[in-house]
Structure 1
Amino acid sequence: MTTATMESQERFLKTLDFSDTSDFEDAKKGLIEAFSDVIRDAEGKVVWDMKSYAFENNAQAPATVNPSLWRQERLNNIAGLFKVSEHIYQVRGLDLSNMTIIEGKSGLIIVDPLISSETAAAAMALYRKHFGDRPVVAVIYSHSHVDHYGGVKGVVSEADVLAGKVKIYAPDGFLEHAVSENVYAGTAMSRRAQYMYGALLPKSPTGQVGAGLGKTTSRGTVGLIAPTDSIGAGGKAVEQVTIDGLLIEFQLTPGTEAPAEMNMYIPAYRALGAAENATHTLHNVLTIRGAQVRDPSVWSSYLDDTIARYGATTEVLFAQHHWPTWGTARISAMLADQRDMYRYINDQTLRLINLGYTPMEIAEELKTLPPALGKKWYNRDYYGSMSHNVRAVYQRYMGFYDGNPANLNPLPPVEAARKYVASMGGEDKVIALGRTSFAQGDYRWVAELMKHVVFANPQSAAGKALLAETLDQMGFQSENGTWRNAMLMGAFELRNGVPKGAGGTASPDTIKAMPLAMYFDYLGIRLNGPKAASSGDLKLNWVFSDPAETHVVTVRGGALTHRKADASSDATATLSLSRKTLDAITLGQTSFDRAIGDGSIKISGDRSAVTRLFSNLDTFPIFFNIVTP
């Protein structure tokens, strides 16, 4: 802990009204049973641990945590089963997201069954402990992010869904976006999510304290059951559906916090579910784990439509993160403030773009919202930040290039680092400069210097140590939970090396849910183009028995293309198989050769072409280097 960081925290305490306790009152309202326990999987592995956050019970923020973030994480620590209104309950603090439980005429409607089946099952058990074993008759996925569907098998069985006993509702486009996000770039996103959520960091005042949106991500079994009913098909803006005797009006909000997302209004209870479009934080226009850039202009417009449709009649606003808000006036004010926040970020970034500002210049110019918006606790930078959100808007409209030709074809990081270090007098000189700036509390500059030292010489013990100390201080000062986690995770890896292990969001259920066209898209992503280009072209007919589809796959010049069509007469080879066999190979449950040997796959034509295709596929490691080259 440095003097500069302690002084920074003391200055921050004077910028906001920490005497305002209304959020704590709302977060505790309706508590039926608190939760502060550990959830384990069938093998005894911990997948969720609220006990580890007990150190946050102290109201006084330690000097190693930004006081505003400490306040937010103390609120996120208020976990358990809560009554939202008549017939609406939430389980909060058993995962990154909330599970909302709505009582219908004959059973339960579950909104967003968390990330893992283990945490979802624990949430259901907590509700049933108090209200009995009512059956689940429907599940609603509010949007296409994994923390809103991954625990579905802890709530319902796939057999019951297939038998028609349970319906699953999701916004139009849900399956496409859920699968593409977690598979196409899923490995890289999973690795970067480790930095964003800090799940591998120790839970302590010098480690992970939360992620702003919630505590962290659970580490259990991720599942996916495909929706039975699509809401908003054909471009509908609003669709009313009666589920188990209860009328629910869905407001489709595509392109806001997720590419497929929807709010829901329950007239009988005067309750508005805002999905993840209005939570108690400034959200991400572009999440730092990586995703498609969101549109804050569209986000703002949908929130305005929400106010117009439901603002005058809503008595409780609940979302799939954080705690509810009660009272029509307070709800309308919050929705309006968040509407204006996203509009401000969008329009002011565009204003500066048109004045010739570059991304980092815009981030420095628009450090904060105007006080009327920025002083509101629910508009603070806990999850998104002004800094990375305005750069995301720049990226959305202008792309990666800032207009300066010197930045159009820059040197790659390692080569640039070596030249920087050499031109500044060598490694020892740069480290000495870094230490001087560190003593002055100029941590952003120290990080800039030390990243070059580490990339120029990954074995530099002194360079890695100083960079780690610098990232610690930057993390300690950050109000943003994900920035803190990323900084501290970088410091952790500089000291301990890259972790070993496996993982990722491309779970078995996600693979199984992929339409065959998306499977072949993913095959093209895995294809090592240079290797494939040098090993010759090929064309393969893939004839599936279940479903009864034929896909023609062509590899030409290192590029894989495919189409659903009749078998091609000039194919190099034809494969006959079932989708179940393909999934087993993809998931490593069997091999291609074994499937041929046992008759699960039959091949006619040039079998070596099939072998050649699979030998040219890359396997993506989940733990690649980030803070070292």
Structure 2
Amino acid sequence: MKYALLCTLAIMASSLFAASEPIKNTVDEQSLKAFSSTAYPKQVTEIIPNKVYHVMGYAHSNASFIIGDTSVILIDTLDSESRAMTLKKIIAEHTNKPVKTIIYTHGHPDHRGGAGVFMDTAPEIIAAAPLKPVLGKMNALKEVFDLRSIRQHGYQLSDEEALSQGIGIREGITTKQGDKQVFVAPTTVLTERKVVREIDGVTFELSGVLGETDDHLLIWLPTYKVLFSGDNYYGCWPNISPIRGGQYRDISAWIDTLEKMLSYNAKYVLPGHTRPLMGESNVKEVLTNYHDAIEFVFNETLKSINQGLSIDQVAEVVKLPEKWAKLPYLGEYYGTVEWTVRGIFTGYMGWFDENPTKLHPLPAKEHAKKTLALMGGKKAVIVAIQDALKKRDAQWAIELADIILAIESNHKAVKQYKAQGLIILAQKETSANGRHYYFAYAKELLAD
């Protein structure tokens, strides 16, 4: 019943969307669909003949494997048990040597969720220790982080609603096939910033760096000029400030990491998501643009903050120049520039935006009551919400709805209006994470 209502609201929202005049240069879910259909096709790429392979499109994340003298060195293990079993079969198609070493590029679950499949050969599992300590008692927030992660990644959405997870197909645990994650803890945890190891005839340079996580490894094969980047590069705007929350991701350090990646003069870059970069000139061009775009947003944000602008003002004025925004590998299909700006602001300045009005604001309910009275009461605001939805002014509609819901949180009609507005916004969203959050929250409103 609730799903049928959501579908009805989606149809209504689509009708409103289609009935309005077309807007030039509008980007919406169609661009996300196009990106999702081309950015990570199912393929195994032989990077170095009979030696280095990149596996993409078989899971939300990528994996790579290197054939050593007597064994296989595996870089990440895909996101779930059944998908790792497919990876195991792929490896067997290229060699009968056993997997004796696994290296995690970082600790995100989608990169190590299939590790248990490879335990029959008792591999050494190598990972990096975090370069920054985790905030104390972070586990006390597990429930809210889990909830927000479910929304961000669209775990409870249908395939049609979710489309993808932005930088890869949906995780195996969302496919309703009983898939599961089989994590295995590392047996070797590197605490040095740089370690050079010979593993079964292959020289590895392992460097601990900061980026999307605080426990990332850059994995460099100097003999073959192959760099495994983990999630420090993938082919769209990165998730620099995830909407699910979490510790501040040090963007200045991430920029430093991209500079380090450029310093290798790699011929191949194999990312943890999306397509590999092939060719030294292409690698240099892409990584340079990626670095420069992020550095521009970072510097412009700091400059705007220093001018005394509020967080909303900074988010409004800092935009990615067209020369970078038009590049296919900097599209906002996962993270967004606006969320990056907001993350930088709060990371450096905290919650206070310099406006003394915000030092002791009215309680939300009291503020809503006073606002509602000035606007002519509940009926007038509901009419305004309905009018905003007809005009496809969905952001205004949900902001008006929030005024009523701050006073009357279970107002059924207003919750449905807000859900309809969220669906309209989802249809206009290029970020998979943003799309998922809109749809997931709409479902929650209708389920209450």
Q: TM-score, normalised on structure 1?
A: 0.64
C-alpha distance in structure 2 between counterparts of 1:359 and 1:6, whole Å: 34
Task: Give yes or no for the alignment of 1:73 onto 2:36.
Answer: yes
Q: Determine helix, strand or coil for the equivalent of 1:274.
A: strand
Q: Deviations over 1:159-179 (max 9, x none)?
A: x6xxxx421111123897699
Q: Helix, strand or coil for the counterpart of 2:74?
A: strand
Please list the CA deviations of residues 34-83 of structure 1 after superposition, one character each: whole Å capped at 9, or x if unmatched: xxxxxxxxxxxxxxxxxxxxxxxxxxxxxxx5332122111246224443
- Structure 1, unaligned runs of 5 or more: 16-64, 498-629
CA contact (8 A) 1:89 1:102 kept: yes
- Kept after mapping to 2: 8 A contact 1:5/1:477: no
Q: Write the distance in 2 (CA, Å) between the matches of 1:121 and 1:178.
A: 35
The partner residue of 2:90 within 120, 126, 132 is 126
Query: Cα distance 1:384–1:180, how it changes in 2: closer, same or farther (>3 A)?
Result: farther
> In 2, are the aligned partners of 1:299 and 1:342 still within 8 Å (CA)?
no
CA contact (8 A) 1:143 1:174 kept: no
Measured after TM superposition, the shift of residue 132 of structure 1 is 4.8
Mapped contact 1:111–1:139 kept (Cα < 8 A): yes
When residues 138 and 356 of structure 1 are mapped into structure 2, their CA distance, relative to the original with a 3 A threshold, is: same
Q: Using the alignment, how far apart are the partners of 1:341 and 1:452 within structure 2?
A: 37
Give percent identity, aligned residues only.
25
- Give 3-state SS (helix, strand or coil) of 1:393's partner: helix
Q: Deviations over 1:13-40 (max 9, x none)?
A: 6x8xxxxxxxxxxxxxxxxxxxxxxxxx
CA drift at 1:187: 2.3
Q: CA offset at residue 439 of structure 1? A: 2.2
- SS of residue in 1 equivalent to 2:239: coil
Decide whether aligned partners of structure 1 residues 356 and 300 sit closer, same or farther in structure 2, where only a CA change above 3 A counts: same
Query: Which residue of the partner structure matches residue 100 of structure 2?
Result: 137
Per-residue deviation, 1:318 = 0.9
**Aligned counterpart, 2:7:** none
SS at match of 2:292: helix
Is this contact kept in 1: 2:259–2:291, CA < 8 A?
Answer: yes
Are 2:189 and 1:230 equivalent residues in the alignment? yes
Residue 168 in 1 paired to residue 122 in 2?
Answer: no
Deviation for aligned residue 1:2 = 4.2
Greater RCO (Cα-Cα under 8 Å, separation 6 or more):
2
How does 1:275-286 map onto structure 2 within 5 Å? 275-286=230-241
Q: Does structure 1 residue 105 correspond to structure 2 residue 54?
A: no
Q: Secondary structure at the match of 1:360?
A: helix
Asked if the contact 1:145/1:178 (under 8 Å) is kept, the reply is: no
Distance 1:262 1:456, change over 3 A: same
> Is the aligned partner of 1:96 residue 2:109?
no
Contact 2:40 2:273 in 1 (8 A): no
Q: Does 1:265 align with 2:220?
A: yes
**Contact 1:282–1:385, Cα closer than 8 Å, also in 2:** yes
DSSP-derived class of the 2:376 partner: coil
Amino acid at match of 1:211: Q
Asked if structure 2 preserves the Cα contact closer than 8 Å seen for 1:9 and 1:66, the reply is no
Instruction: Say whether residues 1:410 and 2:361 are aligned partners.
Output: yes
Alignment partner of 2:230: what SS?
coil
Of 382-391 and 92-101, more deviation after overlay is shown by 92-101
Counterpart CA distance in 2 for 1:429 and 1:243 is 71
Corresponding position of 1:441:
392
- Who is 1:188 aligned against? 144
Distance 1:180 1:143 in 2: 21
**Cα distance change, pair 250–111 in 1 and its aligned pair in 2 (3 A):** same
Match of residue 363, structure 1, among 289, 295, 315: 315
Taking the aligned partners of 1:7 and 1:265, their CA distance within structure 2 comes to 52
1:98-147: CA deviation from partner (whole Å, max 9, x where unpaired): 1222212211111111232332223222332x235431111101112222
Matched with 1:454 is: 405
What is the match of residue 9 of structure 2?
Answer: none
Among 116, 119, 122, which residue is 1:156 paired with?
Answer: 119
Q: Does 1:394 align with 2:319?
A: no
Contact 1:247–1:266, Cα closer than 8 Å, also in 2: yes
Q: CA deviation at 1:240?
A: 1.3
Offset of 1:336 from its aligned partner? 0.6
The CA RMSD measured in Å over matched residues stands at: 2.5
Cα 1:117–1:239, aligned 2, differ >3 Å: closer, same or farther?
same
Match of 2:198, as an amino acid?
A: T
CA positional deviation for 1:400: 1.1
Judged with a 3 Å threshold, the aligned counterparts in structure 2 of structure 1 residues 179 and 272 are, in CA distance, closer, same or farther, namely farther
Matching residue within 171, 183, 188 for 1:217: 171
CA deviation vs aligned residue, 1:166-223 (integer Å, no higher than 9, x gap): 2111112389769987x4533222110111111211222xx11112122333324334
Displacement, 1:343?
0.9
- Contact map agreement 1:107 1:135 (CA 8 A) in 2: yes
Pair 1:11–1:124, CA change in 2 (3 A): farther
Query: How many Å apart are 1:269 and its aligned residue?
Result: 2.3
Q: Return the alpha-carbon distance in structure 2 between the equivalents of residues 8 and 94 of structure 1.
A: 40
How far apart are 1:10 and its partner, in Å?
Answer: 5.4
Aligned mates of 1:315, 1:476 — CA distance in 2: 39
Secondary structure of the corresponding residue to residue 488 of structure 1: helix
8 A Cα contact 1:5 1:473, kept in partner: no
State the distance in 2 between where 1:413 and 1:74 align. 43
- Return 116-125 or 483-492, whichever deviates more: 116-125
2:274 is aligned with 1:322:
yes
Matched, 1:288 2:247: no
Look up the SS of the partner of 1:155 in the other structure: helix
Aligned partner letter, 1:224:
F
Given the superposition, is the C-alpha separation of residues 223 and 337 from structure 1 closer, same or farther in structure 2, using an over 3 Å criterion? same
Q: 2:203 aligns with which of 232, 238, 247?
A: 247
Q: Deviations over 1:435-465 (max 9, x none)?
A: 1222222221111111222332233222111
Partner of residue 10, structure 2: none
1:9–1:477 contact (8 Å) kept in structure 2: no
Q: How does 1:207-606 map to 2 (within 5 A)?
A: 207-219=161-173, 220-231=179-190, 233-234=191-192, 236=193, 238-254=194-210, 256-308=211-263, 310-311=264-265, 314-366=266-318, 368-497=319-448
Amino acid at match of 1:304: E
Provide Cα deviations, 1:542-594, integer angstroms capped at 9, x if missing partner.
xxxxxxxxxxxxxxxxxxxxxxxxxxxxxxxxxxxxxxxxxxxxxxxxxxxxx
Corresponding residue SS for 1:12: coil
What CA deviation, in whole Å up to 9, does each residue of 1:307-339 have, x standing for no partner? 12x12xx22211011111111111101111111
Residue 259 of structure 1: how far off its partner (Å): 0.9
- Higher helix proportion, which one? 2
| TM-score, scaled relative to structure 2 | 0.88
Residues 412, 127 of structure 1: alpha-carbon distance in 2 compared, 3 angstrom cutoff: farther
* Residue pair 2:240, 2:249 contacting (<8 A) in 1 also: yes
Corresponding residue to 2:154 among 198, 201, 205: 198
